[in-house]
Amino acid sequence: MARDFEDHCWKDVIDADTIQIYQAYRRKIYVGDNPAVLAIDLYNKAYRGGDRPVKEVDREFSGSCGEHAWKAMAPTQALFAAARRAGVPIIYTTRHVDTGGVHSTNRNIGRETGDTYGIKAELAPAPGELVIYKERASAFFGTPLIAHLQQKRIDSLLICGESTSGCVRASTVDAYSYGFHNVVVEECTYDRSLITHKVNLFDLHHKYADVMHIEDVLAHLDGLARGRKVA
By annotation, the residues acting in catalysis are 167
DSSP state of 164: I
Outline where the chain has alpha helix (H).
16-21, 54-57, 66-71, 73-86, 145-151, 169-177, 194-207, 214-230
Pairing of strands 90-95, 35-40: parallel
CA atoms of 225 and 215, how far apart (whole Å): 15
Helix axes 214-230, 73-86, angle to 10 degrees: 20
Please report the sign of the dihedral spanned by the C-alpha atoms of residue 38, residue 43, residue 47, residue 53: negative
